[in-house]
Amino acid sequence: MSDIDLVSPLDDALLASLVKAVPKKMAQVILNMGHTKLYEELGKGNLDAVKDGFRTLITTESILRYQANRPAAVFKQPAPPRLEGLERLHEKQREE
């Protein structure tokens, strides 16, 4: 086994810039989705695939496009502290 076999293309910036498609398993890890969801997104046209002999590869361009089209996460502000609970806490602290 040569040294080049031990290096993931995504670990090296130059090699990563040359990679235009990744195996399905790597796409699943990148997108944090399972096999079924990956095929659903391929079927919907949200991801693109190419064949390399018997292997199916997911294009990095479609992965980036998919990630860019995800909705932004929205978080609610935490509820303000209950003042009656704070009063009891302050009373306990004063007693000590």
CA distances from 47 to 28, 34, 50, 73, 78 (A): 12, 14, 10, 21, 36
Q: Could you tell me the pTM of the whole model? A: 0.65
- For residue 36, the model assigns a pLDDT of 96
Give 34 or 5, the one with higher predicted confidence: 34
Whether the pLDDT of residue 2 is over 70: the answer is no
Query: How much is the average pLDDT of 89-95?
Result: 80
The share of the chain scoring above pLDDT 70, in percent, equals 79
